[in-house]
Chains A and B, each alone.
Chain A
Amino acid sequence: MKIKSALENYTFVLPAVTIFSVFYIIPFIWVFQLGLFDWDGISFTRIFVGLDNFKEIFFQDKNWWQSMWNASYITLIALTFQNILAFMLALACDREIRMKNFYRVIFFIPPVLSEVVVGMAWRFIINDIDGANIINRMLIGMGFGNFAHNWLSDPNTALTTVALVHCWKGFGWGFLIFLAGLQTIPRELYEAARVDGASAWQAFKKITIPLMIPVMVLVAILTVLGTMQVFVLIVSLVGGEFAGHTSVPVLRILASMRGSSRFGYACAQGITFGMVLVAISFIQYRFSKKGH
């Protein structure tokens, strides 16, 4: 009877396990296996090189680690600026303000736009010779003419400009999730706090923040995963890696695959990158659990 029951249970989870294995586990193992070979992606012969590709990534490939640093920088800006903005806007829309549904729709437009379209549009807004130069014109109009320059072609500002455009595109997701989270907080808690004489700041600190921590963790994990993998926006904004200043891991993987025809190495880069993302997510999760 017990065996029958166990078999029944396994039967129910079998489709999910099969799909997960076929589309996630097996490809992961396969990509890892390919990472152990020197392979051009076309030939039927592969040369086994063991962990050489991984050794090269960790100890020789400065471009790879520069790309990781660049992606981390964009992620840091997204985690702070983008998410704080999203949280503040969600707080504003959670209250009884006029036209809040209109704002909800407006804030959700950027995330649903194609990254290529966003990149081209912002390139047009920012660039001076092949664009409308709107940012520089505004700066000059406001008396900050000294700051006007080629934002995307200056190595000092290119990455930050990319990061800010990425934040503009991405804050709508955070906004939506934060807003959904805020709406799950029972209003009675705020009413009780008000009756007890708590100020708005105290209610925010003692009710909103603690109850929103799981949502914040979720948004932070999604932000890290989404931002670390950014690349389409970079290609459409600056054409590529711009002497390494806007290089990111996915562009490096693509360069290994297409530019250098090193599929094995690209697979090793993919695995390394994937493991870094898993590690970051795990740390974030553990950290939030501890804090909670």
Chain B
Amino acid sequence: MLFRNALLGIFVLFSVLGCSSQKTETKPSINVWHWMTDRDATFQELAKKYEGLAGVKVNFELYAPSDAYSQKIRAAAQGVNLPDVFGILGEKRDFASFIKAGHILDITPYMQADNENWKSRFFPKALAVNEFAAGNSYGITPGIFAVPIDIMTIQMVYNKKLFSQLGLNPNKPPKTFQEFLAIGAKIKAAGMQGLVSGWGEVWMIDCLANNYAFNIMGKDKVLATIKGEVAYTDPDWIKVFSLFKQMQDSGVLAQGLVTMINKSAEQLFANEKAVFAFNGSWCVNVYKGMNPGLEYGAMLPPEASSQHPIAIWGGAGSSFMVNARSKNKEEAVKFLIWLTDQDQQAYLSQATNNLPANKNSLTKIPEILAQFARGMDYATHPNVWGVSEFSLVIEAFDRGIQSIIIGEKSPEQVAAEVQKIKEREMAKRRAK
């Protein structure tokens, strides 16, 4: 009996030991959430390559469309279950909120290590979008908080074939606003469509209006307006609003532009139904997919004034942040260092037709992408201005321009309405 009990005891002991976890050295896996449908396949390939090299599994999880992704990220932030690496779609204000909530790792020490080895590989303007400078209005400790994966510029593109049909030189796009407006008459006469863009989704209107605001009044005055020191009823702002009326009157804008979504605009331009488009450098990949034989060139928005240089929105196209609460943050940083290395960036750029964030990877890009890349010299972005406009003011501004285009309101009316909301919001801020 004793022998049987002892035997049973040994059996139970070994069974229990057998069920216990095995102590082995396993490399962590990194989870990355993103929204970039066009880059997912390339990311997956790069992840496999990295696993082969470093033994660390990287799971790229795609959540699209971008609206759904944006909501998922916010919900994960509220539930404190963000992945190791993620991107934020939104304004600098949202970025700052994530940092304040302790969700994002300050990667400045990694960037500065080894004599700024990592930092020096990026376009400075790409990095600036992810940086909070000293004395920023968001109250964030100065530093770099995200890694740019690619860069973009938002410019105009024109169809060379339609240019020839209009009797224009396909290698000489308009340089001044008057030249641009003059083409409107030719477009009208030929029964073609002029400029197409996603102006139904409004933020692209804001983008072009700001380009011209920089051109007409200069950066300092634009920033002074955001700070509340210059009113939107200032004659220079009226000039900016009036440009949209002039464009509409000249016929250089496509019909139905104010309700156009960017996907429709891209289809129209790719199908050679529109002479101009206002779009970001990501369009190169989109147009290639829709019409590989499309002949087009990129151009800066034609200057409306010679007082100040034209500015376009550009900088980091998409960026990745490291979760400050992740236990894999060191591995995540290592992966991002590898991902932004020259070879990986060149591969990503060639496979997806996006501009690389690594300035050493710009070789062997198609001419049209090179044209977009040259726009970086004129690039600025609201995220690097250090101050941000009230969202309700931006909304009134964009809606107002839509109203000007459809002939519902005058530039002066819109300016007055925007200023009224600006004053209301400033009064609210002062009261807090």
Contacts and interface: CB of A to CB of B under 8 A. Distances in A.
B256 A128 contact: yes
A114 to B, nearest CB: 14
B49 interface: no
Nearest to B399: A243
Nearest to B390: A260
Nearest to A247: B399
A261 B90 contact: yes
Among B70, B90, B259, B268, the most chain A Cβ lie within 10 Å of the Cβ of B259
Interface in A121-169: 123, 127-130, 150, 152-155, 158
Contact of A129 (B93, B103, B273, B399): B273
A81 interface: no
B255 A261 contact: no
A238 B391 contact: no
Interface stretch (B94-102, B304-312, B341-349): B94-102
B256 A261 contact: no
Interface stretch (B172-180, B198-206, B275-283, B371-379): B198-206
B249 interface: no
B328 interface: no
B402 interface: yes
Contact of A239 (B70, B260, B399): B260
A127 B67 contact: no
Contact of A153 (B93, B255, B261, B395): B255
Nearest to A49: B432
B408 interface: yes
Contacts of B199: 239
A129 B97 contact: no
Interface stretch (A13-21, A38-46, A86-94, A269-277): A38-46
B201 A240 contact: yes
A210 interface: no
Given A239-B198, A241-B399, A243-B403, A261 B97 contact: yes
B399 A155 contact: no
Interface in B231-269: 254-261, 264, 267-268
Interface in B378-422: 391-392, 395, 399-400, 402-403, 406, 408
A244 interface: yes
Contacts of B70: 258
Contacts of A128: 255-256
A153 B406 contact: yes
Interface residues of A, number: 32
Interface in A226-248: 237-244
Contacts of A43: 97, 100-101
Contacts of B93: 40, 261
A255 interface: yes
Contacts of A129: 193, 254-256, 268, 273-274
B408 A243 contact: yes
Dominant secondary structure of chain B at its interface with chain A: helix
Nearest to A246: B259
A243 B67 contact: no
Contacts of B77: 42
B178 to A, nearest CB: 26
Contact of B200 (A44, A238, A260): A238
B142 to A, nearest CB: 20
B416 to A, nearest CB: 15
A259 interface: yes
B74 interface: yes
A153 B406 CA distance: 8
A166 to B, nearest CB: 16
A127 B260 CA distance: 10
B15 interface: no
Contact of B259 (A153, A258, A259): A153
B274 to A, nearest CB: 8
A42 B260 contact: no
Contacts of A152: 256, 259
B264 A261 contact: no
B78 interface: yes
A14 to B, nearest CB: 28
B258 A130 contact: no
B399 A259 contact: no
Contacts of A150: 255-256
B137 to A, nearest CB: 15
B86 to A, nearest CB: 13
A239 B202 CA distance: 9
B118 to A, nearest CB: 27
Contacts of B391: 259-262
Nearest to B75: A41
Given A130-B267, A153-B259, A244-B399, A40 B97 contact: yes
The residue in A42, A123, A242 that gathers the most chain B C-beta atoms within 10 A of its C-beta is A42
A41 B74 contact: yes
A127 B264 CA distance: 11
Interface string A46-68: 00000000000000100100000
Contact of B406 (A42, A63, A130, A155): A155
A245 to B, nearest CB: 9
Contact of B101 (A42, A60, A242, A243): A42
Interface in B4-56: none
Interface of A: 40-44, 60, 63, 123, 127-130, 150, 152-155, 158, 237-244, 255, 258-262
Interface of B: 67, 70-71, 74, 77-78, 90-91, 93-94, 97-98, 100-103, 193, 198-202, 254-261, 264, 267-268, 273-274, 391-392, 395, 399-400, 402-403, 406, 408, 424
15 contacts: A42-B100, A44-B101, A128-B255, A129-B256, A130-B260, A150-B256, A152-B256, A153-B256, A153-B406, A154-B406, A242-B200, A242-B259, A243-B399, A243-B400, A261-B90
Given A42-B74, A128-B255, A158-B259, 13 more contacts: A40-B94, A40-B97, A42-B78, A43-B101, A44-B101, A129-B193, A129-B254, A239-B199, A239-B261, A243-B258, A260-B391, A261-B93, A261-B391
